[in-house]
Amino acid sequence: MLGQVLADNRPLIDVDNLKVHFPVRGKGLFGVGTGVVKAVDEVSFRIRAGETVGLVGESGSGKTTIGRAILRALTPTAGEIRFHLDGDVVRVDQLRGRALTRFRRHMQLIFQDPYASLNPRMTVRDIIAEPLECLGDTGGRAAIDERVREIAELCRLNVEHLRRFPHAFSGGQRQRICIARALVAGPKFVVCDESVAALDVSIQAGIINLLKDLQDATGVAYLFIAHDLSVVAQIAHRVAVLYVGQVVEMAETRDVFFGPLHPYTHALLSAVPTIEPESAFAPVTLAGEIPNPARPPSGCRFHTRCPYAEARCRAEVPQWREVAPEHFVACHFAGELPLARHG
Ligand code: SF4
């Protein structure tokens, strides 16, 4: 079903003015840095408890960097990441050392490639149990075994096969092992980074359904990073569209897919294949390449490729504003542009 609507409105994660900049080493004397790549620049959004937020955009737009910054796999340059946990608010961006390690049980990652992300020398039982052992769970081997069996069953793995090694499993089964490993410690939040991109379409559908069932069963929230909008449509409650390190549009999935208000979202949607051409968006061809985030364009970053760009777009950064209820856009002319479908 396109655009599930979430009844629960409790916040889980607030991302406020997140910046992740990487220094660029110059070729001058002593290799002194001469600039920065603004991989993520002033990004703000909220993820609710039990929600799936889809994060879409072209390669190099900063999707993975945002996911890793929230998980603190890398340190943000600036901004706040607040995690709401049992009535407390934890500043994830400020966690360090053992406090950060302990906090990792609440947030996990499912990788893209189920072949490369499993250690071929470990049994499936040991792979799934590894996070519990790293987090120092002290229940003993019997308790860990019981938890591994429980999560393996939830992930539709045959518990008789836990002594086998990863090579004995298909791509879809391996991704279910990765999901079990991510969920075994009971996280509240999981980043799915292109987690079905390496799988056949029929297997993708099974994994998407499994992720949704696990969300219903456990209340986990997902940040679902993908370049394939048709996959995001199947699982996300809301969608954020990223362009050159900034979110340009965010709304409930149905609103983004049926009524985009930013020309870049419109262009992405026009490239999605459909079996109902009469209901598709008119094709949009974007000129040029995605700009270099070390030298982003002035004003609206999309003005170099936008078919509706005017002089104001080159000079003035568009404000992030709520154009319709819960529908946020960064475009000077949002709501006034002819971003229509055929028919
Ligand atoms: Fe296009 Fe201007 Fe809107 Fe940017 S602000 S998306 S350039 S119309």
In a shared domain, residues 47 and 140: yes
CATH of the domain at 116: 3.40.50.300
Model confidence at 334, pLDDT cuts 50, 70, 90, reads very high
**Residue where a domain terminates, one of 236, 268, 302:** 236
Domain-located, residue 217? yes
Determine the distance separating the centroid of ligand 1 and the alpha carbon of 305, expressed in angstroms: 9
Q: What is the 3-state secondary structure (H, E, C) of 213-277?
A: HHHHHHCCEEEEECCCHHHHHHHCCEEEEEECCEEEEEEEHHHHHHCCCCHHHHHHHHCCCCCCH
pLDDT digits (tens, 9 = 90+) for 69-78: 999 999 999 9
Q: What is the predicted pLDDT for the residue at 277?
A: 61
In a shared domain, residues 223 and 282: no
Residue 188 and residue 145 in contact, taking contact as beta carbons nearer than 8 Å: no
Q: What is the predicted pLDDT for the residue at 9?
A: 80
| 296: containing domain | 260-343
In a shared domain, residues 208 and 267: no
**Residue where a domain terminates, one of 199, 221, 236:** 236
In a shared domain, residues 71 and 33: yes
In a shared domain, residues 208 and 321: no
Domain-located, residue 245? no
Domain-located, residue 248? no
In a shared domain, residues 24 and 133: yes
Which residues does residue 240 pair with via DSSP β-bridges, in sequence order?
55, 250
Residue 166 three-state SS: helix
Residue 270 pLDDT exceeds 70:
yes
Domain-located, residue 89? yes
Domain-located, residue 271? yes
Structural domain count, the chain: 2
Q: Is the CB of 132 under 6 A from ligand 1?
A: no
Q: Is the CB of 54 under 6 A from ligand 1?
A: no
pLDDT digits (tens, 9 = 90+) for 208-256: 999 999 999 999 999 999 988 989 999 999 999 999 999 999 999 999 9
Residue 311 pLDDT exceeds 90:
yes
**Residue where a domain terminates, one of 204, 236, 268:** 236
Model confidence at 280, pLDDT cuts 50, 70, 90, reads low
Model confidence at 2, pLDDT cuts 50, 70, 90, reads low
In a shared domain, residues 41 and 101: yes
How many CB atoms are closer than 10 A to CB 273? 7
Residue 93 and residue 30 in contact, taking contact as beta carbons nearer than 8 Å: no
**pTM recorded for the entire structure:** 0.91
Domain-located, residue 4? no
Domain-located, residue 241? no
In a shared domain, residues 112 and 212: yes
In a shared domain, residues 220 and 269: no
Q: Is the CB of 306 under 6 A from ligand 1?
A: yes
In a shared domain, residues 177 and 311: no
Domain-located, residue 301? yes
pLDDT digits (tens, 9 = 90+) for 105-118: 999 999 888 888 89
Mutation test residue for ligand 1: of 303, 304, 319, the one with most atoms within 8 Å of CB: 303
pLDDT digits (tens, 9 = 90+) for 18-66: 999 998 876 655 655 578 899 999 999 999 999 999 999 988 899 999 9
Q: What is the predicted pLDDT for the residue at 343?
A: 43
Residue 135 pLDDT exceeds 70:
yes
Model confidence at 307, pLDDT cuts 50, 70, 90, reads very high
H/E element, 58: none
In a shared domain, residues 173 and 99: yes
Rounded distance between C-alpha atoms, residue 271 and residue 80, angstroms: 34
In a shared domain, residues 207 and 136: yes
